[in-house]
Amino acid sequence: MENLIKEGKNGFAFDQLSSHRFEANAAKLQIRVLANNIQAGFRLLCLPKSLKKKVWRMDTVRFRLIKIAGRQVHSGRYLIFRLCSHCLYQKAFWQTLTNIKRLPTPA
C-alpha cells in the first residue's frame, strides 16, 4: 500500500493541490485518480507479459516506452514510425503497440 501511495504522489502529484477552494482541489484529485486508473488498465491490458512481471512505476513506463526517440516517415499513403536502432526497449514497445491494436473497439 505504501508503494501505491508513493506512486500516486510521485507519478501523478496527488499531494500537489494548489487551490484554496475545496471543489477545485476535489476536481484536480479526481482527474489524477482517473489518470492513475487509466494507467493501471494500460498496464493490465497493453503491456507484454515480460514487462508485467516487473513492477515498474508510471514514470519508468513513461521514460522507457513512451518518451523514446523515434521518427515518422511519410511514404506514399503510409505513415511509418521508426525507432532508433539502439533502443533498449524496442521489442517491448512493438509488443505493447501490438497489444493496443488487439484491444476490442467499442461498438
pLDDT in tens, 3-61: 777 878 877 888 888 889 999 999 998 998 998 888 888 888 888 887 776 677 777 77
Cα–Cα dist 45/16, whole Å = 29
The CA-atom distances, in angstroms, between 59 and each of 11, 39, 71 are 6, 11, 22
Q: Is the pLDDT of residue 63 over 70?
A: yes
- Between strands 70-75 and 78-83, the pairing is antiparallel
The domain spans of the chain are: 1-45, 64-107
pLDDT band at 79 (very low <50, low <70, confident <90, very high): confident
